[in-house]
Amino acid sequence: MKMTFRWYGDEDPVPLDYIRQIPGMHGVVSAVYDVPVGEAWPLANIQALKATVEAHGLALEVIESVPVHEDIKLGKPTRDRLIDNYCTSIRHLAQCGIKVICYNFMPVFDWTRTTLEMRLSDGSTTLGFDTATIDKIDLSQGIALPGWDASYRADELKALLAEYEAVDESALWANLEYFLKRIIPVAVEVGIRMAIHPDDPPRPIFGLPRIVKDRADLVRLLGIVDHPANGLTLCSGSLGASCKNDIPAMVREFAGRKRIHFAHLRNVKINEAGDFYETAHRSADGSLDMAEIVKAYHEAGFEGYARPDHGRMIWGETGKPGYGLYDRALGAVYLNGLWEGIAKAEGRH
């Protein structure tokens, strides 16, 4: 298992030199952030990012994410040009030694939370999701939730949601299939592994379809193009936000089939209503048995990339909620410690 750390480029308050000092850190996961969604990533931009990372003694082998334009998800006539651009980005990333591309197919909204600063009993703050808050929102009156106003103006969001009124789960599946059948042959050709991120949280929101939310969805997705290049970013915190999802079982099944290329390791505290908040990575702090999840990866012979996913904000740290240095660093060390302990117990490293 190759441990990595999410880094948001030169604007990230966490310096690469600090990330390098985390024991067991293989590299960082990053992206090109100055190219509009839908346009091809220039080779020079990728080369510059890679050179910056490698100059600090870290590897750049995973990209998270290459965004999928909404026109592709909607199945609009413009999608062919946009998919051609996406394929160009894949080729350019392969030229720079990238091995895995993480992406998602969530309509309109990426990961969704109702609070970015939920205060826990120990004084730390974390990301939380409350179903009652979501269900009470009247889209006609606008949206006022953390981070949601950054991507679209109110009129743009209203127009986009109107377009999705004609897109149900069946249509979204068809559009995903069209996308995969275009990009996976390119990924195979250049040696890239695509790794789709599940819906976060794994439930419909505002009537928008969500189609990567449980085992059945993952099986269906992998069967669209049954090739190792069509794989998963298995996010324990996203899928684990549903009580119905057995994360260790998923890891054993899909890592055993060599279809998990990127592991997001995050713990959450959940209830039957679908509410959750993110906790420290330790098994005792959340609803997920992280020790069992890591053991499942080890038993499956997982040799891919992993990262400690969102962390709490602790020790007075400020910055991008969920992406502070301290708690994620603690998480990385904890996860590497679990891996080493399991390896020694089994007599192999």
Residues involved in catalysis: 197, 235, 264, 309-310, 323
| Short-list 215, 216, 220, 271, CA closest to 242 | 271
The owner of tokens 């899928």 is 239
Q: Sort 146 into a burial class: Cβ within 10 Å, 0-12 / 13-18 / 19+.
A: middle
| Short-list 189, 185, 211, CA closest to 199 | 211
C-beta neighbour count of 179 within 10 angstroms: 21
C-beta neighbour count of 207 within 10 angstroms: 11
User: Which H or E element spans position 73?
Assistant: helix 70-74
Q: How far apart are the C-alpha atoms of 228 and 186, rounded to whole Å?
A: 13
Helix (H, G, I), strand (E, B) or coil at 235: strand
C-alpha pair distances (Å), 256 with each of 229, 230, 302? 15, 15, 8
**Which value, in Å, is the radius of gyration of the alpha carbons in the chain?**
19
Secondary structure E strands in 7-138:
25-30, 59-64, 100-103, 115-119, 125-129
Q: How far apart are the C-alpha atoms of 146 and 154, rounded to whole Å?
A: 15
C-beta neighbour count of 273 within 10 angstroms: 10
Name 234's Cβ contacts closer than 8 Å, sequence gap at least 6: 198, 247, 250, 251, 254, 255, 260, 262, 263, 264
